[in-house]
Structure 1
Amino acid sequence: MEYEIRNRPSFAAVEIDLNQSETIMAEAGAMVSHEDGIAIETNRGGGGLMKNLKRSVLGGESFFRNTFTAESPGSVTLAPPLPGDITQYDLDGTLFVQSGSYLAATPEIDVDTKFGGGRSFFGGEGLFLLELTGTGPVFMSSYGAVEERELAAGERFVVDTGHIVAFEGGVNWDVKKVGGLKSTLFSGEGLVAEFQGPGRVWLQTRSQDAFLSWLIPQLPSTNNSN
């Protein structure tokens, strides 16, 4: 399996070349195109009904996943729904990925949902993380550019939860509230994740929450009165 990430960092798409019988599993709606000889199957993914329902409802991911298998050598092109970049990671262990940043992985990788802190009570990003375990390539997407930060042992690093893409399983982490309740409800910096190395953390330079907070007040208000 080989791949090429094109059009980065603003409108990235990844073209994955599959040898015969190789398979890649992607989020529903991620496919841009594929060559002849690539078979597509839509299913619930691995792990059974309840596990996939939890992943869909709590993790914010699609209940279904598309499986692309090469009946003969060919390529499939994938892209995320938001403008931004794509990064690839060779997983050998555990990786936590922000809900919405998971794009694709090989079938050997198990995807589950892990609660990520109190953010769920306020409807923001980062409340549930996808826990990926196994060995193989993983493709992640970002809103905006993606940045990688390598933390030394004991090094601390604080990130707004809306800017997290992923972090390695060996990184210690905790979700903390910044300021009071008013700050948590109305500020984009109400909750942050505190990481402690060693390990790698991936960030995105834009936050979907922050963009929506800017966009919604700009929209025309609905007025039913004459």
Structure 2
Amino acid sequence: MHTRHTPGFGVARVMLAPGEAVQSATETMLASSFGVVESAPARGGRKTGRTVFTAPSGGGWVDLAPSGPGDVYPLELTGGTGWSVHREAVLARPGSVRHDPAWAPLQQLFGSDSGFLEHYSGTGPLVLTTPGPVDSFTLSPREVVTVRPEYVLAYPDTLQVRLRAVDPSGPQSLRTGEGLVLDFAGPGTVLVQARSRRVPKG
């Protein structure tokens, strides 16, 4: 995979082997090599809102661009460790990367609610989009850092994570992360974005 126009207006070019596919939202496809086929997968009889781009017998490529300004970041999954990712951050994923909606640690973190994180595992580049440049905190064992949810991009399974309220009496949302913070304990690396996803009020 190649990126260009980063970090302000990133575009990701996903290279596809013959018959290989990548999944993304339809509106993110800027261009593709000739012969790439688009199909809309369905789940339970309903369309998912995602599109699968499949290369022809000679292979090909797809250029994907986020809807707004910001960076694109290829997170390379090696198969040994899964990653939790902000649910608004995923631009594209190959078929070799799995979305794990029933991953137990996130269910324990959010309970029965749908939270602001999703879990992915497998191998290959999970292409992420961010409204600002990507930064990171590399934590040694037992070292702890606190991050607001709107700045979290991704973190590996090696980290210990606690979700807590900034003010227990204030408004909170598991869906958006409003009023909450995440405490991360090492070892591991937390990927963050240098700009918030949340639109400032007023």
Residues 157, 194 of structure 1: 8 Å contact kept: yes
Question: 2:150, 2:38 → 1: CA distance?
Answer: 32
Q: Which has the larger helix fraction?
A: 1
Question: 2:115, 2:195 → 1: CA distance?
Answer: 17
Residues 13, 79 of structure 1: 8 Å contact kept: yes
In structure 1, the residue matched to 2:22 is 24
Question: 2:97, 2:164 → 1: CA distance?
Answer: 30
TM-score, normalising length from structure 2? 0.83
Q: Deviations over 1:96-124 (max 9, x none)?
A: 11011011111122113345548x7xxxx
Letter in 2 for 1:34: S
In structure 2, the residue matched to 1:112 is 100
* Count of matched residue positions in the alignment of Structure 1 and Structure 2: 190
Pairing partner for 2:44 from 29, 49, 57: 49
Where structure 1 has 5 or more consecutive residues not aligned to the other structure, the ranges are 54-61, 121-125, 218-226
Identity of aligned residues (%): 27
Pairing partner for 2:195 from 206, 209, 214: 206
Question: 1:43, 1:193 → 2: CA distance?
Answer: 34
Residues 85, 146 of structure 1: 8 Å contact kept: yes
* Structure ID, larger Rg: 1
Offset at residue 197 of structure 1 (A):
1.1
Residues 39, 68 of structure 1: 8 Å contact kept: yes
Pairing partner for 2:123 from 131, 135, 138: 135
Letter in 2 for 1:191: L
In structure 2, the residue matched to 1:63 is 48
In structure 2, the residue matched to 1:90 is 76
In structure 2, the residue matched to 1:56 is none
Offset at residue 70 of structure 1 (A):
1.1
TM-score, normalising length from structure 1? 0.75
In structure 2, the residue matched to 1:197 is 186
SS of 1:29 mapped into structure 2 = helix
Residues 149, 182 of structure 2: 8 Å contact kept: yes
Question: 1:94, 1:145 → 2: CA distance?
Answer: 23
Offset at residue 184 of structure 1 (A):
5.4
Question: 2:40, 2:62 → 1: CA distance?
Answer: 15
In structure 2, relative to structure 1, the CA distance for the partners of 1:39 and 1:203 (3 Å cut) is same
Pairing partner for 2:153 from 165, 170, 177: 165
1:155 aligns with 2:143: yes
Offset at residue 212 of structure 1 (A):
3.5
In structure 2, relative to structure 1, the CA distance for the partners of 1:175 and 1:82 (3 Å cut) is farther
Q: Deviations over 1:5-46 (max 9, x none)?
A: 1111111010122222222122342211111021111113xx
In structure 1, the residue matched to 2:60 is 74
